[in-house]
Amino acid sequence: MIVPASEPSVQAETILLVEDEVLIRFALADYLRSCGYQVIEAANAEEALMVLHTNQRIDLVFSDVRIPGSMDGFGLARWIRANRRHIKVVLSSGATRSAQLAGELCELGPVEAKPYHPQRLLERIRMTLSK
């Protein structure tokens, strides 16, 4: 179980959370909301792209690398780099090898590892947003 951070964020940034595993997505979304972020959820890159094509303000995309569909998390990050450069990206994976590939697509280098440590994840998101 993820416990809310002791210091809620005073910022009103919006995070687009892309995770196909429903229970993980719900737990992460609830945690990030408890930290003061607005969270939009997507189960895959296609849903994320639908959100990214709207006028909805998105400050950061937090995506799993391995998501179902025609585009994985790396492809989504590349699309964001090419089309929405102002949006920050944090990628996540349980696979160690993915960390090397993510270095060029994330502001702070390699991916956030699974399973998530709530405080480290929150610090990573805060550092990424502040860059």
Mean pLDDT (10-residue bins), the chain, 131 residues:
48 90 94 96 98 96 93 94 94 64 58 77 90 82
Give, as one character, the DSSP assignment of residue 121: H
Identify the CATH homologous superfamily for domain 14-130: Response regulator (3.40.50.2300)
Task: Supply φ then ψ for residue 16, to 5 degrees.
Answer: -95, 110
Q: Where are the domains of the chain?
A: 14-130
The per-residue pLDDT for 12 is: 82
The per-residue pLDDT for 110 is: 52
Please, which residues have CB within 8 angstroms of residue 8's CB and are 6 or more apart in sequence? 34, 35, 36
Q: What is the pTM of this model?
A: 0.82
Partners of 14 in the β-ladder? 38
The per-residue pLDDT for 1 is: 42
